[in-house]
A and B are shown apart, each in its own frame.
Chain A
Amino acid sequence: MPWVLRGLREGVVTTPYPRRPDGYGESFRAAVSVHRQDAPAHGREIVELCPTGAIAIEDDTIFLHRDRCILCGRCVAADPARFAFEENPETATIGRRPLVVPPGDGDEEGLVRLRRDLARRVRAFRRSVHIRHVDAGSDGSEEWEVAALLNPVYDVQRLGIHFTASPRHADMLLVTGAGSVGMAGPLRRTYEAMPHPKVVIAAGVDAASGGLAHPTYATTGGVEAHLPVDVYVPGSPPSPFSLLHGILLAIGLVETGATR
């Protein structure tokens, strides 16, 4: 059978997301939520159980830092009354602070300012946005998930999302990896070559905080050490749905993220 006809055999394979939720996208773990915030008697144990220090107890209250959580599930197994996997892949956030769950009563005004500033910058990107990806010390899985956005299931071109080779044509910088020392220069140069306005997404916990790969003599704890970051996508690695949510959130095509 010629290739052209093969292409037609499957019918529609493209995800309905973001118009409607995608059943598959909600079928595996995307984040960990805290269902009961009161610290248990074994509080310290829970904090130490977490391999990346993502669980904190302040004033007998539990907070979970999704920018560090690698979804290993240890806390969920140890204390299912308090911790649970979340299957909603809309995990991206504007700014880093909303990745701390449950939300504390913090600087609401600051967040509003962040959102407004971002919304102003991305006004021009709503119809089409051009993304430059840079690997700043990933484990290699993030690149697979970013590249998956181009497969027929996610088919992001249908949403006006394009990847570009030249930073001079890029509106958005999508960075993966723990911020290796070696990529500091190339990352900076790529960012500087991009025209204004521009947006930066830190994709994955490594890019958000350094993840489990950090600290070492050769990592810097994420992208923030090098560039101002607008949107964070947690996950180790983030799934294509979470990445797509991050991109759409950045350009204002979907509203809020996981803390909804």
Chain B
Amino acid sequence: MTTAPRLLQVDADELASAVAGLVAEGARFAGLFATAGDDGATILRALVAHGGSLELLAAQLPPGRRHYPSLTPSIPAASWYEREIHDLFGVVPVDHPRLDPLVLPLVGTEPPFPRPGSGAEGGRVTLDCSPLPAHVTGEGLFTIPYGPVRSGVFEAVEYLVESYGEDIPHLRTRVHYKHRGIERRFSSLPAGDGVLLAERVEGTASVAHATAFCEALEGLAGVEPPPGAGLVRVVHAELERIACHLDSVIRHTEGAGQAVAYARLTLHKERLMRLRAQLCGHRFARGVVVPGGVSGPPLLGAAGALDGVERLEAAVAKDTHALMQTPSFLDRLRRTGLLPAEVAVPHGALGPVGRGSGVAGDVREARPYGRYRQLGFRPAETRAEGDALARQVVRLDEVASSFRLVRAALDELPRAAAGGRWREEVPVVDGIGLGSAEAPQGELVYLVEVSAGRLRRVKPRTASFHNLALLPQAFRGDILTDFVFIEASFGLSMAGAAG
């Protein structure tokens, strides 16, 4: 169970220096969100990770005030968060170096207030989706757009390669195409339906999202799920991780033209999805994690599940081992998409992207939730290389560790579930809760504010959003044909990034 977050109040003019101060002391900047307060006020909340705990620094902008000193000059990782807040709340971070629209490029220079993030029920918005950003002009500058409809079956996103003559091209990412305003949607749902929407924020990481959301509600209510339920959550969360990591490797093999490896790994992934469905009736395990526990035990029984898991584990291990001995494949990944530790560390890069560039940190160890501590979880070793290969090595280590966790959890299950209880009642309690989970993409944090029994504000902070801002850094100096590996090795979900 998550302990209540520490909440600090600061003046809006002091927010940047307060966060920078904590970061200078070794804390990690983990996000910045806005919430509409009463009567047109706006509350800014900075999320900071300190050792094993999370802290929220809150600053209030009184009604009518729409600016505050930007955090970005001292904490570059805040850039995307401030752009998002600017789009959704119309609040200006003063001295932000490049305040381009990110999730909502509204038509016109002075868009209507209140902005959609504030919760005022306005109509549908009109977006400026002109194929090229109108403001990019200049001599010797050309822009190559790629997306949002791309070759292959991909989520919608647009990459722009901006090139200034002979200089190293710069990559820009435009994620607004599939922005769904999903955060606002939470506030119109009964608290009990929130978990269903959480499963659909980043659909390939449904279990992680449902878990983090429920952790927040459970933390507010002071309820702990029964031990058996905690184990079932581990089983499904780790199978989800294996599926996502396999997907990343599959895209590498596809990009490298490794046809047989591609066919075999897609076969294993399909078998994994089938196993997941046989365990719970859904290929993405939706409906398993519910506030207070899980909907029930694995449908195949612990022994039947174990059998399927072991067979899959052996097959995946054999083929990934062979893949890691295929020089023509490894050559494509080595030194491709370099993300140096000097960039990854200050940004607080998350998940396998961080671990491939020397950034340790896994929620399953830092703030153990569910049954991870009892199962003896050990995080994957970090790598120093920072290239696509390092990220793949980290992922394959995690696949092996996830299989071990699934087996350990299934072994433990018959004993832990002896009481036959799968969920506790979770009363809806007012307050601000934080819930986290290590999603396949990295640390996932849910900020859940409940007021008068309603979900007043839900903010999923996805690793996809946080890490996607780093993609341009990993692109520097690479040739365009390497792009597929850089993107695949980041392994991010556009739904999770666009919101």
Residues of A within 8 A of B (CB): 1, 3-4, 6-7, 10, 13, 24, 27-29, 51, 70-73, 85, 132-148, 150-154, 163, 165, 167, 177-178, 180-186, 190, 211-220, 236-237, 239
Contact = CB atoms under 8 A, between A and B. Distances in A.
B124 A135 contact: no
Given A139-B203, A140-B495, A183-B156, A3 B258 contact: yes
A134 B156 contact: yes
Nearest to B265: A151
Contacts of A4: 260
B203 A151 contact: no
A213 B182 CA distance: 6
Given A6-B260, A6-B322, A85-B281, A147 B185 contact: no
Given A28-B277, A138-B203, A139-B202, A213 B125 contact: no
14 contacts: A1-B322, A3-B258, A4-B260, A28-B283, A135-B154, A137-B179, A152-B263, A152-B267, A180-B156, A180-B178, A183-B148, A217-B116, A218-B124, A218-B179
B154 A185 contact: no
B260 to A, nearest CB: 4
Given A29-B281, A135-B154, A182-B127, A219 B322 contact: no
Contact of A151 (B104, B122, B149, B266): B266
Contact of B176 (A51, A135, A182): A182
Contacts of B126: 181
Interface of B: 104, 116, 122-127, 129, 148-156, 176-182, 184-185, 188-189, 193, 196-197, 200-204, 206, 247, 258, 260-261, 263-264, 266-267, 269-270, 273-274, 277-278, 281-284, 286-287, 295, 319, 322, 326, 493-496
A30 to B, nearest CB: 10
B185 A213 contact: yes
A165 B180 contact: no
A216 B181 CA distance: 6
Contacts of A7: 260, 263-264
Q: Which 8 A-B pairs have the closest CB atoms?
A: A139-B203, A141-B203, A165-B151, A216-B181, A151-B266, A218-B181, A3-B260, A182-B177
Contact of B124 (A73, A138, A217): A217
Given A29-B282, A151-B263, A139 B201 contact: yes
Given A28-B282, A29-B282, A143-B154, A212 B178 contact: no
Contacts of A180: 156, 177-180
B263 A213 contact: no
Given A181-B124, A182-B129, A212 B116 contact: no
B181 A217 contact: yes
Contact of B274 (A3, A24, A183, A215): A24
A181 B493 CA distance: 19
B239 to A, nearest CB: 14
B156 A217 contact: no
A89 B99 CA distance: 47
> Which interface residue of A10, A132, A147 has the most chain B CB atoms within 10 A?
A147
A139 B179 contact: no
B196 A151 contact: no
B318 to A, nearest CB: 8
A150 to B, nearest CB: 7
Contacts of A215: 185, 188
A242 B194 CA distance: 27
A139 B326 contact: no
Contact of B267 (A10, A133, A142, A178): A10
Contact of A140 (B151, B177, B203, B326): B203
Contacts of A147: 153
Given A151-B269, A165-B151, A186-B156, 13 more contacts: A28-B283, A29-B282, A135-B148, A148-B269, A151-B266, A152-B263, A182-B156, A182-B178, A190-B149, A212-B197, A213-B185, A218-B179, A219-B180
B416 to A, nearest CB: 24
